[in-house]
Amino acid sequence: MARAVTNRRKTINTIAAWTIGLLIFFPILWIIVLSFKSEGDAIKTPLQVLGSAWTLESYFVVQERSDYFKHFFNSVTIAVGSTLLGILIAVPAAWSMAFVPSKRTRDILMWMLSTKMLPAVGVLYPIYLLFIRLGLLDTTFGLVIVLMLINLPIIVWMLYTYFREIPGEILEAARMDGANLRAELLYVLTPMAVPGIASTILLNVILAWNEAFWTLNLTAAKAAPLTAFIASYSSPEGLFYAKLSAASVMAIAPILIMGWFSQKQLVRGLTFGAVK
Amino acid sequence: MATQHSRSAARLMMAPAVILLLGWMLIPLTMTLYFSFKKYLPLRGGDLGWVGFDNYVRFVSSSSFWPAVATTLIIVGGVLFITLILGVLLALLLDQPMWGQGVVRILVIAPFFVMPTVSGLVWKNMFMDSNNGFLAHLWRAFGAEPVQWLSQASLPSLIMIISWQWLPFATLILLTAIQSLDSEQLEASEMDGANWLNRFGFIILPHLARAITVVVLIQTIFLLSIFAEIFVTTAGAFGTKTLTYLIYQRVLESQNVGLGSAGGVYAIILANIVAIFLMRIVGKNLDA
């Protein structure tokens, strides 16, 4: 039986939750406001800011002066590239672990997870050195490889937890009907695995998009994605609030929208299935 | 039943992932270990020979080591404390019936998707700047002198910025755990006369224990290697140099690779201690 909830209590809950929610969201809301102001207006008091004229100027300036879209496309290349490459490598591995488990499957999974715990700074110089030697420094290709490797354990794990939920009986039934391995993969498993693969892609694009250790340390002007481009505002000259706001809004908007769609997968992916 | 044929096929399918991760782990790790026993200064003479455990001793006995350990502990501890307490309260609130629950959830989760460099810079400039920042305007509106956040109160400011980023994560996971709580249990206890505090202490909190542990462990692992937030705000000044940042400075800024690598080995050991506990919990869940 559902507990009776008075309208009064619901109202109090609503007010409290919305107040806190808006408070937490406020910094993002505020840079959205500032991004539509002129530089001169953006540094005024909050009330004056709200009262001043709205303009798209900053968005144009950011693009003209710093070639925003080059960095945007670097981010897209790195995030999408590393994720797809990771999926390509992880799907077979996760599939075999979920459907043909052996005694060692559990150990392999745990070991993969342990590689994720390796602190990046501990291997910073070796990677840096390898990048110089292999000519990968400041290339998007190099970052695609590194981000694929750091996210591979999460990709394998997420896919594994999704694949394990596909009932094995279906496979047996398919085999009884004479399906071979190829048919089994193509017509039985793939359709059932697509939602899990899609969520995995979504979460990993988000993680790779926001990764800010390797992207900061392994890029310069050429391959810098948005994380590094935004960091160039840490010692700016002159007025820059509106420009920084516009650049930030453009950098976080796509991922914010994707993130809102991936709330559930976020929990599963980031806790390695420990909390569902 | 898995046949011999499908077993070898399975091994073949696993091979690329396993080999890649093995290489990713072993090659850099071996190199870090190798450098850590050398005096290696790429810009000042290069490889100057083996020095045994000299780097390990020097890293720990340098004057910046213990402050960095303290800073690391304060940041990790502070962020964990704030995100857990607020996370539990917020999760309990969001679990209650209300209007527009979905929208509130979206608002609360949003900071998690903001890239670290953006949140660092937005807080530093648009909020914590003592001339034009939002907080400075707010302070002045009440007739108070604006605070120089990132220099006068550098650690609390950083803890605030990082907590803002991680509160959504804690809330989301705790909320997921609360929602899996059997509501009949709560109703039964209510009928037995348990008040709100009793229900929280004896039913909700024990139910959350596991999720809380997971949040603590995962956040600790990520927080130990916080980098971008410090890089764009204080660049390690004003007592905000963490262990990670110290190692980064040794390796890339002062190019003392031997010393930095020894620090890296310490960081790896530290992270592994935390990781062992996390792995145990995850492993248990795998059997269930």
pLDDT at B262: 93
Q: How many CB pairs under 8 A join A and B?
A: 310
Which of A24, A102, A115 has its CB closest to that of B108? A24
- Residue B191 has a CB neighbour count (10 Å cut-off) of 8
Residues A78, A144: contact at Cβ < 8 Å? yes
Q: Which residues lie closer than 8 Å to B261 by C-beta, 6 or more apart?
A: A125, B32, B33, B35, B36, B40, B55, B251
Instruction: Find where tokens 């052996």 sit.
Output: A102
- The answer to whether B110 and A24 are in contact (CB under 8 A) is yes
CA of A73, closest CA in chain B: separation in Å?
16
> CB of A180 within 8 Å of any CB in chain B?
no
- Residue B144 is part of a domain; what is its CATH number? 1.10.3720.10
Check CB contact under 8 Å for B94 and A17. Answer: yes
pLDDT in tens, A235-247: 766 678 888 999 9
Q: Are residues A128 and B35 in contact, defined by beta-carbon separation less than 8 angstroms?
A: no
Cα separation of A143 and A136, whole Å?
A: 8
Crossing angle of helices B65-95 and B205-224, in 10° steps, is 140
Mean pLDDT of chain A: 86
- The total domain count for chain B is 1
Distance from CA of A231 to the nearest CA of B (A): 6
pLDDT at B159 over 90: yes
CB contact (8 A) between residue B260 and residue A273: no
pLDDT at B246: 92
Residue B265: pLDDT band (50, 70, 90) is very high
Determine contact, residues A107/A257, Cβ cutoff 8 Å: no
Residue that wins the pLDDT comparison between B23 and B44: B23
In terms of residues, how long is chain B? 288
* Amino acid occupying residue A108: I
Verify whether the Cβ–Cβ distance B115 to A226 is below 8 Å. yes
Task: Tell me how far apart the alpha carbons of residues B178 and B182 are, in angstroms, rounded to a whole number.
Answer: 9
Interchain proximity B112–A259, CB inside 8 Å: yes
pLDDT value for B107: 92
Closest residue in A to B248 (Cα) is: A121
DSSP assignment letter at A103 = T
Domain A67-234: CATH architecture, name and number where available: Orthogonal Bundle (1.10)
The reply to whether residue B268 touches residue A118, judged by beta carbons under 8 angstroms, is yes
Lowest-confidence pick of A170-174, B34-38, B96-100, B207-211: A170-174
CB contact under 8 A, B17 and A209: no
* Least trusted range by pLDDT, from A162-166, A207-211, A212-216, B153-157: A162-166
- Minimum Cα–Cα distance from A212: chain B residue: B228
Q: Could you tell me what percent of chain B has a pLDDT over 70?
A: 97
Tell which A residues from 200 to 219 touch B, by Cβ distance under 8 Å: 206, 209-210, 212-213, 216-217
pLDDT at residue number A2: 47
A192 and chain B in contact, CB less than 8 A: no
Picking from A22, A89, A267, the nearest residue to B17 by CB comes out as A89
Read off the pLDDT of residues A47-87 as tens digits, 9 standing for 90 and up: 888 888 898 888 888 888 778 889 999 999 999 999 999 99
Q: How far apart are CA A32 and CA B110, in angstroms?
A: 13
Q: What is the pLDDT of residues B29-75, one digit of tens each?
A: 999 999 999 888 888 877 888 888 889 999 999 888 999 999 999 99
At A73 the pLDDT is 92
Cβ atoms of residues B220 and B274 within 8 Å: yes
Q: pLDDT digit string (tens) for A124-165?
A: 889 999 999 999 999 999 999 999 999 999 899 889 988 888
Please tell me whether residue A30 adopts helix, strand or coil conformation: helix
Nearest-angstrom CA–CA distance, A215 and A221: 11
pLDDT for A3: 52
Instruction: Provide ipTM, 2 decimals.
Output: 0.87
DSSP codes of every residue in B43-107 = TTTEEEEE-TTHHHHHHHHSTTHHHHHHHHHHHHHHHHHHHHHHHHHHHHHHHS--TTHHHHHHH
The reported pLDDT for the residue numbered B1 is 47
- Locate all alpha helices (DSSP H) within chain B, ordered by sequence: 4-36, 54-61, 65-95, 101-109, 116-121, 134-141, 149-152, 154-179, 183-191, 196-199, 205-224, 228-233, 243-248, 257-287
Does residue A230 sit at the B interface (CB-CB below 8 Å)? yes
pLDDT at position B272: 86
pLDDT of residue B287: 59
Nearest CA in chain B to A25: B107
Residue of B nearest to A86 (CA): B17
Residues 38-77 of A with CB under 8 A from B: 43, 45-46
Instruction: Write the CB contacts of A190 (distance below 8 Å, at least 6 apart in sequence).
Output: none
Q: Determine the structural domain holding residue B104 and report its residue range.
A: 4-287
- Closest CA of chain B from A198, distance in Å: 18
- Report CB contact under 8 Å: A231, B121: yes
Span of A149-158, A242-251, B136-145, B194-203 with lowest mean pLDDT:
B194-203
Q: What is the pLDDT of residues A82-108, one digit of tens each?
A: 999 999 999 999 988 988 888 888 889
pLDDT of residue A1: 40
Residues 6+ apart with CB under 8 A from B208: B88, B174, B177, B178
Are residues A18 and B100, on separate chains, in Cβ contact within 8 Å? Answer: yes
In chain A, residues under CATH classification 1.10.3720.10 are 67-234
pLDDT exceeds cutoff 50 at B158: yes
Residue corresponding to tokens 């998007």:
A140
CA closest to B111 among chain A residues = A25
Residue of B nearest to A242 (CA): B126
